[in-house]
Amino acid sequence: MAQCIYLIDDDEAIRSSLSALLATMGWETKAFESVQCFMEAEPDVQNLNGCLLLDIRMPGKSGITLLENWQQMGSTLPIIMMTGHGSIDLCRRAFKNGAFEFLTKPVDADLLIETVGTALEQQKLSQQHRENQADLQAKLATLSTREHEVMALIMQGKSNKEMARDLSLSPRTVEAHRASLFARLEINSLAKLIKIYGGLKGTT
Amino acid sequence: MRKALIWLILTALSGGGVVVYALHQQYEEQSAEFRILYRDITVKLSQNDVILALLSNSSDPKVVQQKFPYILRWQTKPHEPPRPDINPARAGTYWINSPQGSLLIDLPTLLADFVRTQKFHHFSLSWKDTPLLTQGAEGKNDWWSWEKHIASPSQPLNLLVTNNPDWRSLPWLGLLLVGVFWAVVIYFYNQYQMTKRQRNIANLRAHFSELARLNAMGEIAAGMVHELNQPLTAILSYSQTAQRLIKQQQAEKAQPLLDASVMQTKRISALLLAFREKLHSDEQALQPVNLRQVWERVVMLLGNEIERGKVSVINRIPESLPPLIASPLGIEQIFHNLLNNAIQAQQQTDKGWVTINASQTADSIILTVTDGGQGLSEQALEQVFMPFFTTRKEGLGLGMALTETLVQRLNGSIQAENSPNGGACFTLIFPFAQQEA
């Protein structure tokens, strides 16, 4: 899925001018006149790719409210806040809620392009990371319950004999499970198992 | 209620003081009277000793009796046994005994002259607790009493007088005046307090309205900033995008962006126009205005500042000046700003003054406001009517700009110059024919 810049601003002229500006960089821009419009058009915020340019002062739901709910909604899309009168207070509030950048209007084109570029870069990296994780999760999901148990015990550093005792199985069976899960996770050593899957969720 | 109580206390205290003083005076007077009485009685009684010494057997009883009617009997030989001092036979009489003889004295007759003229409430002469002569009332409950032994070896009488204060002779009129005095004092103090409070309230109100004005201005400015920021942002983006496109050799794409940019610029201009319209919407109804009265009201409004700056304000608007068709509030504001400026300009001057002059020509009224300050600098003369030009630290620089706008709204004109003696001089010209405009 290609990266896209989502722009929310209540002013038509700003939407059109910023879209034109961003288009010169070859970026695709989707502009919305309010937070509600954006939520209707893109209900699936977790899977958006790109970044969000958000005006703070808007009729209806304000930009800062969306920002404050953003992380709860499970999105990792970086948000660049824009405002006509940035007070220190507002700025602090924005960064506290995970804003990527805080720009004051009128925004200089170079600064905006640079900021958007960085945001897209960052988002791309985190997206890749997430895709990797998802891949690993998918592999993990193929393991049987017993193999999960065995893996958990391996990670605790137990030997085959100990595992056999803990799970009331014969050492041979444990060994068979171990070989099978190595095959399913497409790894060939204990070190790799711990390195790649060690920090992943659901592996304790 | 509290004032009445204070008045009562003050009057009671000072009245009490007056009464005590008067009573003390009375007491002193009567003490003096008592001393005179005592001295007279002492002298009279001591005469008896002398008479006794001088009497001899050869004296003619008739002559003696005639000369000294109070000597009832006498004998030249000492009596054996000695006669009692006090004659029990007859009240008020007593014997004086000496080796030469004895005298029977009738005290009431002896002292008839003093006793009749004395004014004490109670008067008594006693010997060894036996009253010989009393006059007046009982006198036991009287306020004051004086008592003294007569210093005479042969007649050690005890003189006792008592008296009451003479209430009627107290300075009642004085007391009344004291009451009136305090009432007047409290009244004036009250008036003073009230004026002071009113002045304080007026000051507070002025302060508050100034604050409200500044707040409103801040709000307006914030609104303007927001309104202008949006199109400005768009213009900036459009222009910069156009710049980039031209740089990228795509000049044909820049055209619509520049058009949009122009549109936004027009939007700003329209916004500013609408904004001005909004602020000017409160048109005042025009009516005949007596400039002299308005000026006097403004002087009253600025009374505090005038007093504080020790500025004398001279009103030379002739009574005969015809009324000007204008908005009274507008004129008041114009005068207020001019006078206020003149006062501010003379804060460092000891004897400041402001003069307003008015004259009438065929088709206009010319007003000049002159002050005794430093005058305006060259830069100030040029810029005095520009918004946000100010020479004061805390000034906003809107007063004179507003004044000019108001004058122009009345089709008038205003000029600033320096008078030959240094102070600033503002000349305002209001044409009569403005109501048709």
Which single residue is written with the structure tokens 């990797």? A132
Contact A17 B237 (CB under 8 A): yes
**Residue A102 clears pLDDT 70, i.e. is over it:** yes
End-to-end alpha carbon distance in chain B: 61
Banded pLDDT at B109 (limits 50, 70, 90): confident
Q: Which domains does chain A have, with CATH numbers?
A: 4-129 (3.40.50.2300), 142-197 (1.10.10.10)
The fourth-level CATH superfamily of domain B287-436 is Histidine kinase-like ATPase, C-terminal domain (3.30.565.10)
Question: Alpha-carbon distance B115 to B166, whole Å?
Answer: 20
**A11 contacts on B by Cβ (under 8 Å):** 230, 233-234
**B263 contacts on A by Cβ (under 8 Å):** 13
Task: Name the token pair of B263.
Answer: 């549109």
Question: Alpha-carbon distance B23 to B17, whole Å?
Answer: 10
**Residue B73 clears pLDDT 70, i.e. is over it:** yes
**B240 contacts on A by Cβ (under 8 Å):** 21, 108-110
**Residue A148 clears pLDDT 90, i.e. is over it:** no
Contact B225 A84 (CB under 8 A): yes
How close B399 gets to chain A, by Cα (Å)? 28
Q: How large is the ipTM?
A: 0.71
Of A13, A85, A107, the CB nearest to B226: A85
In chain B, CATH 1.10.287 sits at 202-279
Q: Measured on CA atoms in the order B338, B343, B349, B350, is the torsion positive or negative?
A: positive
DSSP codes of every residue in B246-285: HHTT-HHHHHHHHHHHHHHHHHHHHHHHHHHHHHT--PPP
Banded pLDDT at A63 (limits 50, 70, 90): confident
Banded pLDDT at B63 (limits 50, 70, 90): confident
A86: closest chain B residue by CA: B226
- Label the pairing between strands B158-163 and B144-149: antiparallel
Cross-sheet strand order for the sheet of B158-163: B130-136, B122-127, B158-163, B144-149
In chain B, CATH 3.30.565.10 sits at 287-436
C-beta atoms surrounding B310 within 10 Å: 14
**Residue B437 clears pLDDT 50, i.e. is over it:** no
Please name every residue paired with A179 in a beta bridge, in sequence order, or none if there are none.
none
Q: What is the mean pLDDT of residues A190-197?
A: 83
Of B229, B231, B244, the CB nearest to A109: B244
Banded pLDDT at B277 (limits 50, 70, 90): confident
Contact B236 A109 (CB under 8 A): yes
**A116 contacts on B by Cβ (under 8 Å):** none
Task: Name the token pair of B299.
Answer: 């002087």
Reduced to 3 states (helix: H, G, I; strand: E, B; else coil), residue B78 is coil
Of A18, A24, A105, the CB nearest to B245: A24
Q: What is the mean pLDDT of residues A148-155?
A: 85
**A103 contacts on B by Cβ (under 8 Å):** none
Contact A107 B237 (CB under 8 A): yes
Of A57, A85, A109, the CB nearest to B237: A109
A57: closest chain B residue by CA: B226
- Label the pairing between strands A4-8 and A29-32: parallel
Residue B335 burial (10 A CB sphere; 0-12, 13-18, 19+)? buried
- Identify the DSSP state of B349: -
Q: Considering only CA atoms, which of A100, A115, A105 is closest in space to residue A57? A: A105
Q: Considering only CA atoms, which of A32, A49, A182 is closest in space to residue A126? A: A49
SS (H, E, C) chain A: CCCEEEEECCCHHHHHHHHHHHHCCCCCEEEECCHHHHHHHCCCHHHCCEEEEEECCCCCCCHHHHHHHHCCCCCCCCEEEEECCCCHHHHHHHHHCCCCEEEECCCCHHHHHHHHHHHHHHHHHHHHHHHHHHHHHHHHHCCCHHHHHHHHHHHCCCCHHHHHHHHCCCHHHHHHHHHHHHHHCCCCCHHHHHHHHCCCCCCC
Find the angle CA(B142)-CA(B38)-CA(B92) to the nearest 5 degrees: 80
**Residue B88 clears pLDDT 70, i.e. is over it:** no
How close B388 gets to chain A, by Cα (Å)? 22
Q: pTM of the predicted model, to two decimals?
A: 0.50
Segment A118-143, tens digit of pLDDT: 999 998 898 888 888 888 888 888 88
Of B225, B226, B233, the CB nearest to A14: B233
Contact B236 A84 (CB under 8 A): no
Segment B131-172, tens digit of pLDDT: 888 888 777 788 888 989 888 777 888 888 888 888 888 888
Q: Which residues of A123-134 are buried (b: 16+ CB within 10 A; e: fewer)?
A: beeebeeeeeee
**B261 contacts on A by Cβ (under 8 Å):** 17
Residue B347 has φ and ψ, to the nearest 5°, of: -65, -35
pLDDT score, position B13: 93
Whole-number CA gyration radius for chain B: 51
**A13 contacts on B by Cβ (under 8 Å):** 230-231, 234, 260, 263-264, 267
Interface with chain A: mutation pick from B240, B247, B249, highest number of A CBs within 10 Å:
B240
Q: Pick the range with the lowest mean pLDDT from A62-66, A111-115, B184-188, B219-223.
A: B219-223
**Residue B375 clears pLDDT 80, i.e. is over it:** yes
Segment A67-93, tens digit of pLDDT: 888 888 878 889 999 988 778 888 898
DSSP codes of every residue in B81-131: SPPPSB-SSSTTEEEEEETTEEEEEEHHHHTHHHHHH---SEEEEEETTEE
Amino acid identity for residue B105 in this structure: I
pLDDT score, position B180: 93
Please name every residue paired with B158 in a beta bridge, in sequence order, or none if there are none.
B126, B149
CATH of domain B202-279: 1.10.287
How close B211 gets to chain A, by Cα (Å)? 22
Interface with chain B: mutation pick from A24, A25, A110, A111, highest number of B CBs within 10 Å:
A24
Of A17, A23, A85, the CB nearest to B234: A17
Residue B145 has φ and ψ, to the nearest 5°, of: -145, 145
Q: Pick the range with the lowest mean pLDDT from A180-184, B115-119, B206-210.
A: B115-119
Segment B167-196, tens digit of pLDDT: 888 888 988 999 999 999 999 999 999 999
Reduced to 3 states (helix: H, G, I; strand: E, B; else coil), residue B410 is coil
Contact B229 A105 (CB under 8 A): yes
How close A36 gets to chain B, by Cα (Å)? 21
Q: Considering only CA atoms, which of B225, B226, B219, B227 is closest in space to residue B271? A: B227
pLDDT score, position A204: 46
> What's the length of chain A?
204
